[in-house]
């Protein structure tokens, strides 16, 4: 089956459980253009900062004009993997060893071993204002577990950390959003406040990898991936492994 022309040129995702609003601006108070059902495919041209709906989460997606334009809160979206590995950058086309490709258009990490793509993983890179740096890097420090700290956060026990540039690292992501996990922009009233839920179906969902979904920018620059993938990647990438980060 032939690939769509935009398979590797635009972010593809879906609306999460609970649905979402497509709005005229990146704010819960902006005009509602469309009420989207869970599972609706979405194409995002770029990520922008907007009104904060979750604590410390400001990411909104600007919808492709062919899909109606407007904005959707990032917490209401989840990324999807492309049907095959994205094309490698020109400078890595003939690299025969193990290396890591980070595509920030698709928010997909692809691991190459012996020159062949072995595994694709959705990642949650830096959000607007904390964008992950692009460039030719390499794994320089590896830690099985670490407490990560930064402006306004302390996260203990971050697993399988691989630093490649400054404070930016590939690592496993397990944390949830406090207090409002399971709610989306559909639960926000006209004043931008979360509505009280008498029977929140997601109240007990908890556990690993909840909150903002993989594939949506939400970090301070690191590349969070699911726990199993982070464990696998840590096992195949020695210090010095090339990490190519690009749009």
Distance of CA 39 to the CA centre of its chain: 17
Express each pLDDT in 97-133 by its tens digit: 999 999 999 999 999 999 899 999 999 999 999 999 9
Q: By three-state DSSP, how is residue 91 classified?
A: helix
Phi, psi of 228 (to 5 degrees): -65, -45
- Of residues 181 and 11, the one with the higher pLDDT is 11
What's the confidence (pLDDT) of residue 182?
37
Residue 57's pLDDT is what? 75
pLDDT at 174: 83
Neighbour tally for 208: CB within 10 Å: 12
The CA distance from 172 to 22, in Å, is 30
Which tens digits make up the pLDDT trace of 35-54?
A: 999 999 999 999 999 987 66
User: Which pLDDT score, from 0 to 100, does residue 203 have?
Assistant: 35
**Domains of the chain, start order:** 11-79 (2.30.30.40), 90-174+210-246 (2.40.440.10)
Residues listed for the chain:
247
Confidence of residue 59 (pLDDT cuts 50, 70, 90): very high
DSSP 5-38: TTTTTSEEEEE-TT-EEEESSSSTTSPEEEEEPT
Reported pTM: 0.86
Q: How much is the average pLDDT of 160-166?
A: 97
Per-residue pLDDT at 158: 93
Q: Tell which wins on pLDDT, 84 or 191.
A: 84
| Distance between CA atoms of residues 31 and 23, nearest Å | 5
- In whole angstroms, what separates CA 6 from the centre of its chain? 19
Q: In what order do the strands lie in the sheet with 153-165?
A: 141-150, 153-165, 168-172, 223-225
pLDDT digits (tens, 9 = 90+) for 188-210: 344 333 333 333 333 333 333 34
Of 65, 83, 99, 54, nearest to 216 by C-alpha is: 54
Indicate the average pLDDT of the chain.
Answer: 85
Burial class (CB in 10 A: 0-12, 13-18, 19+), 115: middle
Pairing of strands 135-138, 242-246: antiparallel
Residue 176: its pLDDT value, please?
54
């Amino acid at each position: 089956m032939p690939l769509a022309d935009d398979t590797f040129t635009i972010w593809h995702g879906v609306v999460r459980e609970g649905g979402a609003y497509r709005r005229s601006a990146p704010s819960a108070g902006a005009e509602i253009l469309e009420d989207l059902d869970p599972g609706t495919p979405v194409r995002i041209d770029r990520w922008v900062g907007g009104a904060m709906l979750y604590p410390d989460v400001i990411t909104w997606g600007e919808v492709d004009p062919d899909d109606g334009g407007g904005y959707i809160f990032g917490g209401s979206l989840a990324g999807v993997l492309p049907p095959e590995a994205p094309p490698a950058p020109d400078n890595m086309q003939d690299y025969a060893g193990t290396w890591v490709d980070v595509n920030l258009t698709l928010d997909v990490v692809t691991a190459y071993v012996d020159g062949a793509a072995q595994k694709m993983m959705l990642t949650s890179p830096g959000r607007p204002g904390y964008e992950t740096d692009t460039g030719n890097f390499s794994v320089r420090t590896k830690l099985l577990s670490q407490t990560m700290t930064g402006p306004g956060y302390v996260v203990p026990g971050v697993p399988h950390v691989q630093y490649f540039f400054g404070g930016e690292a590939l690592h496993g992501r397990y944390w949830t959003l406090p207090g409002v996990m399971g709610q989306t922009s559909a639960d926000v009233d006209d004043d931008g406040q979360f509505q009280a839920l008498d029977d929140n179906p997601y109240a007990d969902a908890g556990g690993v990898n909840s909150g903002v979904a993989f594939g949506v920018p939400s970090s301070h620059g690191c590349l969070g991936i699911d726990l199993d993938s982070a464990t696998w990647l840590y096992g195949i990438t020695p210090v010095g492994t090339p990490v190519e980060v690009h749009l």
